Amino acid sequence: MMSQMSAALAARRVLAAASHSGNEGGAKTWKILTIVLAFPGVSVCIANAYMKAQAHSHEQLEFVPYSHLRIRTKKFPWGDGNHSLFHNPHTNPLPDGYESSHH
């Protein structure tokens, strides 16, 4: 318990001392961190998402008419009332199944 308090106090003192040392290198430090860490990190994430998208199968899942899903108590106020606002006929089935069996 005592060692945790002293460690927290020491960390506070270091951070407080750093904040009073001046702002000369602050912007330069963040610019370097952005270039060295952020841009490569974002690039790795984009590459990972692209590779996962390429490996993903685009086959339609089998429709299972679960009674607790796709309940329509009233019509949607747009279109024919049965399609959600961002309806995708390939991925979003209607209460009675997919609209088409081919892609």
Residue type, 92: N
The C-alpha atoms of residue 25 and residue 4 are separated, in whole angstroms, by 31
The C-alpha atoms of residue 61 and residue 5 are separated, in whole angstroms, by 55
Which of 74, 62, 68, 69 minimizes the C-alpha distance to 82?
74
User: What's the fold here for domain 60-102?
Assistant: Cytochrome C Oxidase; Chain G (4.10.95)
pLDDT at 23: 61
- The 10 Å Cβ neighbour count of residue 50 is 10
Segments of the chain scoring below 50 in pLDDT: none
